[in-house]
Amino acid sequence: MDFRLNEEQQMLQDTVARLVRGEYSFEKRLEYSESELGFSEDFWKQLGELGLTAVPFPEELGGFGGSGVEVQSVMTELGRGLCIEPYLQSVVLGGGLIAQAGNDQHKEQWLGGIASGETRAAVGLQEPQSFYDLNDVETRAEKSGDNYVLNGRKAVVIGGHCADVLVVSARTSGDSRDADGISLFLVPADAEGLERRTYPTIDGAKGCDLFLNNVTVGADALLGEEGQGAGVIEYQAGRAIAALCGEAVGVMEVACDLTLEYLKQRKQFGVPIGRFQVLQHRMVDMMSELEQARSMAILAASVADEPQSDERRRILAAAKNVIGRSGQFISEQGIQSHGGIGMTWEYNFAHYAKRLIMINHQLGDDDFHLERYATLLQAS
């Protein structure tokens, strides 16, 4: 058994690390975050030029043929830099949905651009009432001649404000929350009747809610089989969870490093505060949370691209549950260990702390995945 990355994987991770170190100082990140686009166009281009946006795609589509492990290596480094580019949304989720469910024409039309970074995708899978259940879909797609007419609202579409194409779920049959009857559609960003409400996110990125008012798309916009989208969504959300675990580990590593450094450097009562046992033990607890998260991230990556099974489902739910809890622990205890300084905008730690909490709000929090795991446990 060997848990280390192989040489190629290590090279990949080092490439991302170098790029992030060069381009993503804390100050620059704040600038990117406050810009109109909400991230760095230039950094995004470089991700493309270095082939990093192509990592998960098959070689015949200009990709690198990478698995969950490679994607996770990229995400970990993006996490360490607290990068706000929509890699997860465009490459992992958008690209993943098209690669899995799309026909040759879809792949040809979109995947080359997504893999090179020239095209950006985003996904609208959640709705205002759905909480974290991706089968809770009320947006409707009605057949009208050769077309589909979409009506409804998609919630918290990170990166949706600047995407060229949106992959959205809509119901072609069935009742809200039925797994059957969910279909996936490719909606171009400039489609008539598509409105956005754009906002910053509390962790420094940008997103939007999508309002679909009689958005008419051709039959060729249907991604995969009509009514059979739920399985595809579940599978791709699983890949995204593994990727997000990678990011979370990167964020936690830096959060722990910063806290440890601070405990050694900050003096009160004439000694470094790291001399106080309560802080020592807390630091040990933070590190052991990080280890738990790292282990589950590795496990999640190992099943990310395996065929769907209850085992895969369980592992991914477990992984997301663990990183949600570890992330919150490290975020809260890290702030506490810093004292007032841990709460300031000007110090990078606070931004890591915020990202960790928000990762828990993406693709289901620890409560949601605990329940999911418990349900799967009963089924097995």
Partner 1 sequence: MNMNYTAEELAFRDEVRAFLDEKLPADIAAKVKGFRRLSKEDHQRWQKILSEQGWYATHWPEQYGGVKWTPVQKHIWDEESCRYGVPRSIPFGVNMVAPVIIKFGTEEQKQTYLPRILSGEDWWCQGYSEPGAGSDLASLKTRAVRDGDHYIVNGQKTWTTLGQHANMIFCLVRTNTEVKAQEGISFLLIDMNTPGITVRPIITLDGEHEVNEVFFEDVKVPVENLVGEEDKGWTYAKFLLTYERTGLAGIGLSKAALQHLKELASRRLKNGKPLIEDTAFSQRIAQVEIDLMAAAISNLRIIASVEGGGVPGAESSMLKVRGTEIRQSINDLARRAIGPYAIPFVEEELDLDYDGDYLSDENAAPLAAQYFNNRKLSIFGGSNEIQKNIVSKMILGL
Ligand X SMILES: Cc1cc2nc3c(=O)[nH]c(=O)nc-3n(C[C@H](O)[C@H](O)[C@H](O)COP(=O)(O)OP(=O)(O)OC[C@H]3O[C@@H](n4cnc5c(N)ncnc54)[C@H](O)[C@@H]3O)c2cc1C
Q: Which residues contact 318 (CB under 8 A, 6 or more apart)?
A: 296, 299, 369, 373
Shortest Å, Cβ 272 to ligand X: 10
Shortest Å, Cβ 201 to partner 1: 5
Among 22, 65, 218, 339, binds partner 1 (CB under 8 A): 339
Shortest Å, Cβ 201 to ligand X: 23
3-state secondary structure of 156: strand
The DSSP string of 238-293 is: HHHHHHHHHHHHHHHHHHHHHHHHHHHH-EETTEEGGGSHHHHHHHHHHHHHHHHH
Single-letter amino acid code for the residue at 75: M
129 touches partner 1 by CB under 8 A:
yes
Distances (CA, A) of 228 to 94, 111, 148, 170, 223: 17, 21, 16, 11, 10
Q: Which residues contact 216 (CB under 8 A, 6 or more apart)?
A: 144, 147, 148, 149, 150, 191, 192, 193
Shortest Å, Cβ 268 to partner 1: 4
Among 32, 39, 64, 132, binds partner 1 (CB under 8 A): 132
**DSSP classification of residue 108:** I
207 touches partner 1 by CB under 8 A:
yes
**Site of interaction with ligand X (CB under 6 A):** 266, 268-269, 273, 276, 278-279, 336-337, 339-340, 343
Among 13, 255, 358, 372, binds partner 1 (CB under 8 A): 358
Among 340, 378, 379, 380, binds partner 1 (CB under 8 A): 340
Shortest Å, Cβ 286 to ligand X: 13
Binding residues for partner 1, rule CB under 8 A, total: 49
Among 15, 62, 136, 376, binds partner 1 (CB under 8 A): 136
The window from 35-43, 96-104, 121-129, 308-316 that contacts partner 1 (CB under 8 A) reads 121-129
289 touches partner 1 by CB under 8 A:
no
Nearer to ligand X, 277 or 380 (CB): 277
Nearer to partner 1, 166 or 335 (CB): 335
CB atoms within 10 A of CB 231: 16
31 touches partner 1 by CB under 8 A:
no
Q: Within positions 157 to 196, which residues make up the interface with partner 1, using CB under 8 A?
A: 158, 176-177
CA 58 – CA 61 distance, rounded (Å): 6
Single-letter amino acid code for the residue at 316: L
**Contact status, residue 127 vs residue 153, Cβ threshold 8 Å:** yes
**Contact status, residue 97 vs residue 233, Cβ threshold 8 Å:** yes
The window from 12-20, 64-72, 125-133, 143-151 that contacts partner 1 (CB under 8 A) reads 125-133
Among 7, 60, 192, 278, binds partner 1 (CB under 8 A): 278
**Contact status, residue 93 vs residue 116, Cβ threshold 8 Å:** no
Please give the structure tokens belonging to residue 77.
């480094």
CA 150 – CA 217 distance, rounded (Å): 8
Nearer to ligand X, 219 or 341 (CB): 341
Among 128, 144, 220, 257, binds partner 1 (CB under 8 A): 128
Single-letter amino acid code for the residue at 140: R
Nearest by Cα to 92 from 226, 206, 235, 210: 235
Residues lying near partner 1 in the complex (CB under 8 A) are found at 126, 128-129, 131-133, 136, 155-156, 158, 176-177, 197, 199-203, 207, 209, 267-270, 276, 278-279, 332, 335-336, 339-340, 342-346, 350-351, 353-354, 357-358, 361-362, 365, 367, 370-371
